[in-house]
A and B are shown apart, each in its own frame.
Chain A
């Protein structure tokens, strides 16, 4: 696998139950995400898109196939190594932001680094930088309750990329936001990816999926198609 490749799923399957009552959530999915690439996963409810995301993030172990994150085969890691990989390489962004209400924006962003053993001062410096990148440096000492939904999601994006984490896994990150705020959040996600991260964006909203370089369509746990953006602008710029 090339250095550019941040994530590879090889024939990943997920079955719940066995025999006659087995349910197939994913049936042999292949997928790669390179650095600088944002891949959207679309599909109806039950198509397997959220399962795919939790497997890519090492939160669920697939029943078949291999997951390779930044050159490491997840099946070969023990639980401690897997947790460390999640802390250092992966950043999650959820629909409902998942910020700790008792911590300021800055503390929320520095928390994963501090849990990973960083010195507080160094972690806070990195967190401040990450908040600057999402244009929230001036809100560092605000608590989540004092921030708008869009601002909270930007804090979550800062937390997802802080300390050089390179793979962002976003599950309906714009689901709880109004239309123009959702777009702002996607612009920021896009910028982080353009700056060298990689990302998976799970969404049912075609307008939001369109921010990705590639859209993968899932149906019944299988990839049924994909759409890749052309590099040529179809619309003349003024």
Chain B
């Protein structure tokens, strides 16, 4: 995997490592969030060597090889760090698809679907936050690496909730427009005064 390849290469720019050492460094610096098996490390190193990005010295007494980065490898690693990552084209996001379909169906309570998802995502966000709160000194290097990774998950979950809030608002605005189009302007007193906070379509209203 390209990400692993580049990460290992970047670590080797700092200093040469044995293979098992490299795996340890990778795991501790990414907060042990993505465990790596040793076979993966050696396969990756073999490929890097094939491409001329790393070299290995002859094994020591116990037959362990020390891996060094080549000048080309150094350039590749520097390029990876400097270049913004490009995400693959959006996958078929199940949630976005479900919401779009639900909004087009007549007998579906979309606010309820949104609320159920909001609760599930909020729970995940709480669990991540709880895990974070239980952590050690945020200033220690290992904890810091881990916090960076956890925060990225926290912000993704937050983004999903914000998107749900936004979608709910958008749907209720649309429902409100449809609703008022069906009435004579100003003649909206048949249900008593409008409730300024009642902006959400309820079951059966549409």
A234 and B127 form a contact (CB under 8 A): yes
Interface flag for A187 (CB, 8 Å): yes
Neighbour of A20 across the interface among B120, B126, B157, B192, CB < 8 A: B192
Interface flag for B122 (CB, 8 Å): yes
- Contacts of B142-193 to chain A: CB distance below 8 A: 142, 146, 150, 153-155, 157-158, 161-162, 165, 169, 189, 192-193
A226 to B120, CA, bound (A): 10
Neighbour of A217 across the interface among B118, B126, B150, B155, CB < 8 A: B118
Chain B interface, number of residues (Cβ within 8 angstroms): 46
Main SS class of interface, B? helix
A21 to B192, CA, bound (A): 8
One digit per residue, 1 when the CB lies within 8 angstroms of any chain B CB and 0 when it does not, for chain A 41-60 equals 01010111000000000000
Interface flag for A22 (CB, 8 Å): yes
Neighbour of B133 across the interface among A20, A21, A187, CB < 8 A: A187
Interface flag for A235 (CB, 8 Å): yes
Neighbour of A235 across the interface among B131, B158, B200, CB < 8 A: B131
One digit per residue, 1 when the CB lies within 8 angstroms of any chain A CB and 0 when it does not, for chain B 108-138 equals 0001000110111111111111110111000
- Contacts of A95-133 to chain B: CB distance below 8 A: none
Interface flag for B198 (CB, 8 Å): yes
Contact (A215, B32) CB under 8 Å given A44-B165, A225-B115: no
B154 and A210 form a contact (CB under 8 A): yes
Contact (A22, B193) CB under 8 Å given A210-B125, A229-B123, A238-B146: yes
Contact (A224, B154) CB under 8 Å given A215-B126, A233-B130, A236-B32: no
Interface flag for A221 (CB, 8 Å): yes
With a cutoff of 8 Å between Cβ atoms, the chain B residues found around residue A25 in the complex are 197
B125 and A207 form a contact (CB under 8 A): yes
Neighbour of B131 across the interface among A24, A217, A228, A234, CB < 8 A: A234
B200 and A212 form a contact (CB under 8 A): no
With a cutoff of 8 Å between Cβ atoms, the chain B residues found around residue A165 in the complex are none
A215 and B122 form a contact (CB under 8 A): yes
B200 and A219 form a contact (CB under 8 A): yes
Interface flag for A227 (CB, 8 Å): yes
B125 and A220 form a contact (CB under 8 A): no
Tell me the nearest residue of chain A to B28, going by C-beta.
A238
Tell me the nearest residue of chain B to A184, going by C-beta.
B138
Interface flag for A80 (CB, 8 Å): no
With a cutoff of 8 Å between Cβ atoms, the chain A residues found around residue B142 in the complex are 238
With a cutoff of 8 Å between Cβ atoms, the chain B residues found around residue A225 in the complex are 115-116, 118-119
A206 and B195 form a contact (CB under 8 A): no
A22 to B196, CA, bound (A): 10
With a cutoff of 8 Å between Cβ atoms, the chain A residues found around residue B127 in the complex are 229-230, 232-235
> Which residues of A are in contact with B by a Cβ distance under 8 Å?
20-25, 42, 44, 46-48, 187, 190, 205-207, 209-213, 215, 217, 219-221, 224-230, 232-238
Q: List 28 A-B contacts (CB under 8 A).
A: A20-B192, A20-B193, A23-B193, A42-B122, A46-B196, A46-B197, A48-B197, A206-B122, A207-B129, A209-B125, A210-B128, A215-B122, A220-B195, A220-B199, A220-B200, A227-B122, A229-B127, A229-B129, A230-B123, A233-B130, A234-B128, A235-B127, A235-B131, A235-B150, A237-B32, A237-B135, A238-B27, A238-B32
Q: Contacts A229-B129, A234-B124 given; 15 further ones with Cβ under 8 A?
A: A20-B193, A21-B193, A23-B197, A25-B197, A44-B165, A206-B162, A209-B125, A210-B125, A210-B129, A211-B133, A226-B119, A230-B123, A234-B131, A236-B32, A237-B135
